[in-house]
Amino acid sequence: MDYTQQLFEQMFGTEWGITVFILAKNLFYIFAIVVPLLLAVAYLTFAERKIIAYMQIRVGPNRVTFFGIPWLRGWGQPIADAVKAIMKEIIIPTGANKFLFLLAPILTIAPALAAWAVVPFSPELVLADINAGLLYILAMTSLGVYGVIIAGWASNSKYAFLGSMRSAAQVVSYELAMGFALVCVLMMAESLNLGDIVKGQQGDSFLNWYLIPLFPMFLVYFISGVAETNRAPFDVAEGESEIVAGFHVDYSGMAFTVFFLAEYANMILVATLTSIMFLGGWLPPLNIAPFNLIPGIVWLLMKIAFMLFFFLWFRATFPRYRYDQIMRLGWKIFIPITLIWILLLGILLQLPESSKELFPLNLWFK
Amino acid sequence: MNFQDFLFYFFSGVLVFSALGVITLRNPVYAALLLVLAFFSSAGIWLLLEAEFLAITLVLVYVGAVMVLFLFVVMMLDINLEQLREGFWKWFPFGALLSLVLAIEMSMVLMGKQFNLENMPVPQPHGTDYSNTKELGRLIYTEYVYAFELAAVILLVAMVAAIALTLRYRTDKKSPNPSKQVAVKREDRLRIVCIPSESKE
């Protein structure tokens, strides 16, 4: 590292060398996060097709393979899909606003990727270890809706516009419940830093994870996450049986694929945040020999995969919500639950030390 | 000029450009989107001032929620520009007065020498363990708690008023009641009848 820094200082002078060095270093880290993430997105689409297929007693993609290896059948499918998407023509409708039409997919994927900057993969492995990490995540995830709204408007199509209106109202409503659920997490951790939130869950076993004291918040957060990513059963923004395909009905080729990528990147993000805030992040479930020898990032990846499975399971199982019921769930059920839980949690945190020892509350409310 | 200065001028340039766009562009959707850009660049400037909580809250609240609803409304409305221009000369004196006040304020900042602004000490940069969020929370809930609660109550009143103004029960129209629908049990809708099969004769 020092050698590279000196190299940059020689190239750009002592004043700017350090700046350029930091920029180059961060750019390298960003690539180190985004490239595996996009690969994970590609294979998440494959996993989705396979898992839903097996749940519905089908086989799923089983043809495309690498170099004709028979036991890899199907594994080449995401790559083949990507190549196909790149080759296809991007059709821009005549009445569309060309600039905004092409800007919309970028606005969707940019926040989905930007949020990863503060995600800690292990105690040391984090791109930006900022104090207000949780707020940053909330801000970034709330931006994704712009792509959807602009896409719907710029397409100059009624179906697309209806889809984007639905999505806007839905995301804004569920963001509140999501935010309140996260308020509980930060009350427990007494910090907005995601690394500190995981460290607050450290202990002998999984009993210390916030999953147990904040179980209703875990449910609220995860369901709101599903709604926020516009996934089934909350995918009314697409609603292919009512409004064709919603906001991306006029998109084709790579422009459509970017929307698709953003949706899956957001799913992985929500799964990661759930693992970090409720399932102890990189912590092993039991802090004893065989478990704590496995590196933390492996545990984190396993938890993410576990949460992602739920997304796919939901899609295979539940019928789509009716729109007024979505709104009812968000405003009349989730928000009151979170408000009550915040109050309850505040009382529990302020209990005198002696009464905390009566119950095993000391495990969580130190 | 170091990197921080460069960032400041970059954000300020974008901010001025987008703020000008908000008031000059004819397309209201473009104007709203440029306002979003303006919020973003001012959040960037606040980050340079070590006010990360305010910066991120600006993005979270204004960009993430308020502007979404704004865009929502702007896209739904069919705005007639002629109608908007109608009251221009009627309101011009008031607008001119406001801009005069703004111009005076700005000149006071720019001509700081006359007002001994230079005597103000330069704010000291804080260490990495300084948390703007914690500091702000401590101040709001201790020193400024009454003002803060008052603001909260005013917001609550406004919210209740907004709901009360727009809520109307229509009797001429049928609408489903979701709570009733969700509470439906199988027995309410479905009657299982046991019909013995007839023997084949």
State the nearest Cα–Cα gap between B119 and chain A, in angstroms.
29
State the nearest Cα–Cα gap between A112 and chain B, in angstroms.
14
Of A6-20, A30-44, A183-197, A252-266, which range is least confident?
Answer: A6-20
Closest Cβ opposite residue B68 in set A15, A172, A192: A172
Asked, for residue B159, whether it belongs to a domain, the answer is yes
| Residue range A64-74: mean pLDDT, rounded | 80
pLDDT-derived band at A361, boundaries 50, 70, 90 = low
Cα distances from B66 to residues A39, B32, B60, in angstroms, run: 35, 11, 9
Asked, for residue A2, whether it belongs to a domain, the answer is no
> Mutual orientation of helices A253-278 and A215-228 as an angle, nearest 10°?
170
Asked, for residue B134, whether it belongs to a domain, the answer is yes
Asked, for residue A14, whether it belongs to a domain, the answer is no
Asked, for residue A41, whether it belongs to a domain, the answer is no
What is the pLDDT at residue A3?
Answer: 74
Q: Give residue B182's identity as a one-letter amino acid code.
A: V
Asked if A156 has any chain B CB less than 8 Å from its own CB, the reply is no
Distance from C-alpha of A145 to C-alpha of B67, rounded to nearest angstrom: 11
| Residue range A126-132: mean pLDDT, rounded | 79
More confident residue, A264 or A253: A264
Is the pLDDT at B85 greater than 90? The verdict is no
- Residue B66: count of CB within 10 angstroms of its CB: 14
| Residue range A169-193: mean pLDDT, rounded | 86
- The total domain count for chain B is 1
Contact call for residues B108 and B115 (beta carbons, < 8 A)? yes
Closest Cβ opposite residue B56 in set A15, A100, A136: A136
Question: Residue with structure tokens 């749940």?
Answer: A55
Q: If you ran DSSP here, which 8-state letter would residue A208 be given?
A: G
ipTM of the complex: 0.81
Q: What residues make up the domain containing B150?
A: 129-167
- The total domain count for chain A is 1
Q: Which of B68, B130, B138, B181 to mutate to test the interface with A (most CBs of A within 10 A)?
A: B68
Asked, for residue B146, whether it belongs to a domain, the answer is yes
Asked, for residue A85, whether it belongs to a domain, the answer is no
Distance from C-alpha of B8 to C-alpha of B188, rounded to nearest angstrom: 66
Q: Give residue B6's identity as a one-letter amino acid code.
A: F
CB contact (8 A) between residue B75 and residue A161: yes
Q: Where are the alpha helices (DSSP H) in chain B?
A: 3-24, 28-48, 52-57, 67-76, 81-85, 88-110, 132-141, 145-166, 178-182, 186-189
CB contact (8 A) between residue B3 and residue A138: no
| Residue range A257-286: mean pLDDT, rounded | 88
Residues of A in contact with B75 (CB under 8 A): 149, 153, 161, 165
Please give the residue of chain B at the shortest CA–CA distance from A325. Answer: B178
> Between the ranges A203-207, A285-289, A305-309, B104-108, where is the mean pLDDT highest?
A305-309
Burial class of A18 by CB neighbour count within 10 A (0 to 12, 13 to 18, 19+): middle
Asked, for residue A82, whether it belongs to a domain, the answer is no
Is the pLDDT at B81 greater than 70? The verdict is no
Distance from C-alpha of B33 to C-alpha of B68, rounded to nearest angstrom: 10
CB pairs under 8 A between A and B: 79
State the nearest Cα–Cα gap between B128 and chain A, in angstroms.
9
What is the pLDDT at residue A131?
Answer: 79
Helix (H, G, I), strand (E, B) or coil at B191: coil
Asked, for residue B47, whether it belongs to a domain, the answer is no
Asked, for residue B119, whether it belongs to a domain, the answer is no
Asked, for residue A57, whether it belongs to a domain, the answer is no
Please give the residue of chain A at the shortest CA–CA distance from B7. Answer: A19
CB contact (8 A) between residue A139 and residue B3: no
What is the pLDDT at residue B15?
Answer: 93
Contact call for residues A330 and A178 (beta carbons, < 8 A)? no
Distance from C-alpha of A308 to C-alpha of A314, rounded to nearest angstrom: 10
Residues of B in contact with A192 (CB under 8 A): 131, 133
Q: What residues make up the domain containing A210?
A: 99-363
What is the pLDDT at residue A222?
Answer: 92
What is the pLDDT at residue B152?
Answer: 93
Asked, for residue A73, whether it belongs to a domain, the answer is no
What is the pLDDT at residue A125?
Answer: 76
Asked, for residue B200, whether it belongs to a domain, the answer is no
- Residue A174: count of CB within 10 angstroms of its CB: 26
Is the pLDDT at B41 greater than 70? The verdict is yes
pLDDT-derived band at A220, boundaries 50, 70, 90 = very high
Q: Residues with Cβ < 8 Å from A255, sequence gap 6 or more?
A: A90, A101, A102, A105
Asked, for residue B154, whether it belongs to a domain, the answer is yes
Asked if A175 has any chain B CB less than 8 Å from its own CB, the reply is yes
